[in-house]
Amino acid sequence: MTDDRLNISRRTLLAGLGTVGVASAGAGLGTTAYFNDTESFEGNSLTAGELNLRLDYRSTYTTGPEVAFDSMSNGNTGINYDSPASVDRVPDTDEPMYVLSQIPDLRYETTGNPGAQGQVYSENDWGDVTKGVDCDGMYEPIDSDDLGFAGLVDGFEATMFDLPDVKPGDSGEMTISLHHCGNPAYLWFEGMAEVDSDEGIVEPEDAADGTYDDSDGTADGDLDDLMWVEAWYDTNCNNRLDAETSEADIVLAIDVSGSMLYPNRGGEVDFDGTQAANGNALRGVDKDNDNDLYRIDVVEEATKEFVTQLNALLPNADVRIGVVFYGTTEGQDIDLNGNPRDAVRDVALVDSDDSALVNDTLDDLREEIAASEGSAGKTGTFISAGISAASDLLSNVSDPAANQAIVLLSDGGDDQDPGNAVQEATDAKTVGQQISSIAIGPNAEDALLNTIATGSDGSSFYDVESLSVSGTNLEAAYTDVAASISGGAESPFYRGSFAGLIDLLEGGQPFDPRAEPFEIPDPADATCVDPGVYCLGIEWYLPKTPAEFSTLPWQTPDDEDEATFADQVSARYGDIDYETLNLAQTDELTFGLRFGAVQCRHNETNENPLQAD
């Protein structure tokens, strides 16, 4: 299938950065368009699927205690920087951080949220709200019952900021949210250097190479080589790279009721009838000998991937995993061999990087449900018992200093006492255990599962309406859960010069929010991403002393072993001194960022949509 037959969507945004003297920059986002078509004949209809990528963004600027906005120009939100406005300062930040431009222009409608009326959202509130913007651009404000309209970037080019007078010691950040709507797609992003010039030579810059000849001794601008950046997948879209926790104990509470497996209870995901469709009991549990796929199969594979993600997000942390299986009422049921077993049972915490023990626990989960022939099998879901067992496991064996978390997964509700399930969750959260709940399938009781999760610091609710054969939508929920449990730890993929980042992204690279740190996968290995909101964060900093270059890391996907920014810069300039810093004076840097989406189906090679004709 050629590129023009694939559903491709592209968008572009612009932004700007500058340095001592004069400098401006453009950052652009590009992606998504969608096609939509309906054909009808004799009462039947064919409707083309949708693939649409919309964008929002926020760019901030941190200047230090002395703030002068006289030379700043705003982006396209109408923020006036000719006179400093306290409402444009981001609340709850250690240093003065100001919003340069943002879409949507989110501001508090009442005082004390934590900002004043009219003040821009805090970092966490910005992330929470933008993650909730739907594909129609509607969102729920923090302090209002009236829905807002985000006015996302969709089919037009936007400028995020233009800074013509950045000083050494200044820093800033930009977060771009990709609102991926429609069908699963491969996501791409591209960096483009548009202007990289000296824009005139001033005396300190002229003297940097030891001569006064109206040249600084370099062929082009130096701002992009002397400015340090860090780029990461901003899982919670809060405009900052969140650090990892040092210790975490997690209990997976997995629903093993009959509807997770039996076809006559809706348990099939991809069912061709090779297994008995009528009985409650599954006659065979060997996945290698049938072609059917059940909910519990998808859960098994996604849960294993979840453990792998935790290890990647927390490479230096002590992480332990426990499992609770819960189904019908407390007491016993009958296993596949006709033997009684506890209806609610747990597996003690084990080190998450002990793959043999983890896989032994999570392998063949069909056997946790399947009953012997003639047995009624599991018939209900006892969520309260699952939460209680998970909480007890943490309370009895977990280190009090560890980040304690319960991940509850169910395709139903609580058949015994929903109120008791809420109370068990409240008790667990009271002792510091965060709860994330995942609802799968159309019959899950979303309201109950949401109540169970809501109210715990960092906890969340995820609604997976349907399970795909690939399981990517469940894996996407698990990705967010992993980031929450890890203390918000997020995956950087580049640290070094701005020029190096643009070189890395030149021509387009797969945008994979589930990639491991400092990894950009080959196109054929990239994740097919389900619809949702995915964010990219880029922080920049212009060092103010030569010594600072040695304190900043240099890490790339090609070589994740950490060197220093001084190593990268000295490879071009030799020894770094104040004359080296002067090379950036009056330089102009303009750049663009584009994002693209291309459908996964019938696209085995994951063709780059940013390079398609």
For residues 22-50, average pLDDT? 32
Q: Where is mean pLDDT largest: 153-162, 212-221, 279-288, 305-314? A: 305-314
pLDDT band at 277 (very low <50, low <70, confident <90, very high): very low
State the Cα–Cα distance between residues 233 and 231, nearest whole angstrom: 7
Beta-strand ranges (E) seen in 104-154 are 138-139, 148-149
Is the pLDDT at 554 greater than 60? The verdict is yes
Is the pLDDT at 589 greater than 90? The verdict is no
Is the pLDDT at 456 greater than 70? The verdict is no
For residues 269-282, average pLDDT? 46
Is the pLDDT at 73 greater than 70? The verdict is no
| DSSP-assigned beta bridge partners for residue 249 | 320, 404
Q: What is the pLDDT of residue 9?
A: 61
> For the segment 369-418, what is each residue's pLDDT rounded down to a tens digit?
766 555 555 556 888 989 999 999 888 877 777 788 899 998 887 877 88
Is the pLDDT at 151 greater than 90? The verdict is no
**DSSP state string for 504-523:** HHTT-EE--TTPPTT----G
Hey, what amino acid is at 362? L
CA distances in angstroms from 457 to 107, 391, 431, 461, listed in the order given: 23, 16, 12, 12
Hey, what amino acid is at 596? G
> For the segment 315-344, what is each residue's pLDDT rounded down to a tens digit?
767 888 889 888 765 556 667 677 777 777
Q: What is the pLDDT of residue 230?
A: 94
Q: Which among 345, 330, 334, 300 has a CA at the least distance from the CA of 440?
A: 300
Is the pLDDT at 421 greater than 80? The verdict is yes
CA distances in angstroms from 148 to 104, 138, 140, 273, 315, listed in the order given: 9, 6, 6, 47, 40
* Out of 175-189, 463-477, 585-599, least confident range: 463-477
Q: What is the pLDDT of residue 373?
A: 52
Q: What is the pLDDT of residue 131?
A: 86
Radius of gyration of the chain (CA): 27
Q: What is the mean pLDDT of the chain?
A: 74
Task: Please give the DSSP secondary-structure letter assigned to residue 213.
Answer: S
Is the pLDDT at 152 greater than 90? The verdict is no
Pairing of strands 460-464, 434-440: parallel
Buried b / exposed e along 191-215 (16+ C-beta atoms within 10 A) = bbbebbebbebbebbbebeeeeeee
Is the pLDDT at 154 greater than 70? The verdict is yes
Is the pLDDT at 470 greater than 70? The verdict is no
How big is the CA angle at 449 (ends 398 and 400), to the nearest 5 degrees? 15
Q: Where is mean pLDDT largest: 185-194, 345-354, 517-526, 562-571? A: 562-571
Q: What is the pLDDT of residue 498?
A: 92
Q: Which among 13, 10, 40, 39 has a CA at the least distance from the CA of 27?
A: 13
**DSSP state string for 410-457:** ESS--SS-HHHHHHHHHHHHHTT-EEEEEEESTTS-HHHHHHHHTTST
Buried b / exposed e along 514-528 (16+ C-beta atoms within 10 A) = bbbbbebbeeeebbb
Task: Give the contacts of 50 (CB within 8 A, at least 6 positions apart).
Answer: 34, 35, 36, 181, 182, 183
Is 10 buried (19+), middle (13-18) or exposed (0-12) by CB count in 10 A? buried
Q: What is the pLDDT of residue 211?
A: 59
pLDDT band at 175 (very low <50, low <70, confident <90, very high): very high
Is the pLDDT at 419 greater than 80? The verdict is yes
What do you get for the CA distance between the two ends of the chain, in Å?
Answer: 14
Is the pLDDT at 216 greater than 80? The verdict is no
Q: Which among 335, 336, 328 has a CA at the least distance from the CA of 283?
A: 336
Q: What is the pLDDT of residue 37?
A: 26
Instruction: Quote the pTM value.
Output: 0.64
Percent residues over pLDDT 70 in the chain: 69
Q: What is the pLDDT of residue 3?
A: 37
State the Cα–Cα distance between residues 400 and 370, nearest whole angstrom: 36
Q: What is the pLDDT of residue 458?
A: 37
Q: Which among 248, 208, 320 has a CA at the least distance from the CA of 484?
A: 248
pLDDT band at 444 (very low <50, low <70, confident <90, very high): confident
> Hey, CA dihedral for 542, 544, 546, 552, is it positive or negative?
negative
Is the pLDDT at 496 greater than 90? The verdict is yes
Give me the numbers of helices (H) and strands (E) for the chain, helices first please: 12, 27
Q: What is the pLDDT of residue 365?
A: 82
Task: Give 613's Cβ-side CA count (13 Å radius).
Answer: 4
Q: Which among 369, 370, 409 has a CA at the least distance from the CA of 387?
A: 409
Lookup: tokens for 256: 């093993």
Percent residues over pLDDT 90 in the chain: 12
For residues 582-610, average pLDDT? 82
Task: Give the contacts of 539 (CB within 8 A, at least 6 positions apart).
Answer: 171, 172, 173, 229, 230, 240, 241
Question: Torsion angle of alpha carbons 350, 356, 361, 363, nearest 10°?
Answer: 160
Q: Where is mean pLDDT largest: 163-177, 345-359, 447-461, 498-512? A: 498-512
Is the pLDDT at 545 greater than 60? The verdict is yes
Task: Give the contacts of 365 (CB within 8 A, at least 6 positions apart).
Answer: 254, 256, 296, 297, 299, 300
> For the segment 76-101, what is each residue's pLDDT rounded down to a tens digit?
334 444 444 677 888 878 778 888 88
Query: How many other CB atoms are there within 10 angstroms of residue 150's CB atom?
Result: 22
* Out of 39-53, 155-169, 513-527, 549-563, least confident range: 39-53
Q: What is the pLDDT of residue 238?
A: 87
Structural domains in the chain?
Answer: 53-64+86-108+118-241+491-599 (no CATH), 247-486 (3.40.50.410)
15 close to 174: Cβ distance less than 8 angstroms: yes
At residue 316, the 3 state secondary structure works out as: coil
Task: Give the contacts of 496 (CB within 8 A, at least 6 positions apart).
Answer: 228, 229, 553, 554, 555, 556, 565, 568
For residues 61-81, average pLDDT? 47
Higher pLDDT, 451 or 68: 451
pLDDT band at 264 (very low <50, low <70, confident <90, very high): low
Express the helix, strand and coil content of the chain in percent, nearest 5 each. Answer: 25, 30, 45
* Out of 90-99, 220-229, 370-379, 447-456, least confident range: 370-379
Is the pLDDT at 231 greater than 90? The verdict is yes
